[in-house]
Amino acid sequence: MWWKILLIIFALIFLFFWQSVHIIIAYDGEFKLIAGLGLIRLNILKLLDKFKNMQKKEKKPKEEKPEEEEPEEKKEEEEETPKETKPNVFQEVLELRGFDGAVDLLSEFSSLLAKFGGGLMKHFIIRKLVVHYGVTGKDAADTAIKFGAISTALFPSIGVINKAAQVKKHDIVIIPDYTGSEDTQEIYIHMSYRLLALIAVALGALKDFLQILKREKKINARIKARSKIRREKAVAANKSQQTGDVTA
């Protein structure tokens, strides 16, 4: 019986992580940002406004308390004992292997970041992409110029998005409005990402990052050990030379 309960629990956990994270960005005179998991949807901007209003209500003027003066002995002890900060891996690489070693490490981190971004975009889905733009200028010539400039900027960007992510449905319309008084925009972007894929990509990137740190720490430890042995040999050689001079 217990194995059935465990099976049900694992199935529920799997179903939860199999859900997709949804993000909806919309603009039709008013900006909207909606996020959700599965069937749950939350308006992020409204939640932020409510949170800010709650914080304003909770804030009350606090009574100023007189600051207690610390004894001079404690202040002197704190000033005399500065906190020791351990150097990070990048600082150690820069000190031990110079600028070339630091550049190599930065290139590895940048390639790891690119790999992480590529893994994210591989599972990234744009379910719906709608851009409706009505272009209006001062006169017909200005409207035509603006229409050409916006088309030149917008359509290549849409092409890049189509190559980078899976776009299920898109509707891009740019219309020159020669009789209008101002530009009109309507934007609707519905994106989704499967939670399980996001966790898998993040864990893979974290694993690679920790492996790089571990390897760099080992290399730094070897360099420190070699330099320590060299210093000890140099000190021993100096001592033997000094004793030889004394006996002579």
Cα 246 to Cα 236: distance, rounded to the nearest angstrom = 15
Q: Which of 20, 22, 21 is nearest to 189 (CA)?
A: 22
State pLDDT tens for residues 168-199.
888 888 888 888 788 888 889 888 888 788 88
Non-local CB neighbours of 197 within 8 Å, separated by 6+ positions:
123
Cα 193 to Cα 17: distance, rounded to the nearest angstrom = 11
Cα 7 to Cα 13: distance, rounded to the nearest angstrom = 10
Non-local CB neighbours of 180 within 8 Å, separated by 6+ positions:
134, 136
Cα 198 to Cα 37: distance, rounded to the nearest angstrom = 13
Give the β-pairing of 124-135 and 184-194.
Answer: antiparallel
3-state secondary structure of 189: strand
Residue 119 structure tokens: 């893994």
Non-local CB neighbours of 196 within 8 Å, separated by 6+ positions:
17, 18
In the chain, domain spans: 20-50+88-237
3-state secondary structure of 248: coil
pLDDT on residue 75: 47
E-strand stretches of the chain: 20-27, 31-37, 40-43, 124-135, 166-167, 170-176, 184-194
pLDDT means per 10 residues, the chain with 248 residues, are 76 75 85 82 81 74 54 53 59 71 77 78 84 87 88 84 82 86 86 82 86 83 82 78 64
First and final C-alpha spacing in the chain: 91
DSSP codes joined into one string, 24-85: EEEESSSEEEEEEETTEEEEHHHHHHHHHHHHHHH--PPPPPPPPPPPHHHHHHHHHSPPP-
* Structural contact between residues 140 and 178, judged by C-beta atoms closer than 8 angstroms: yes
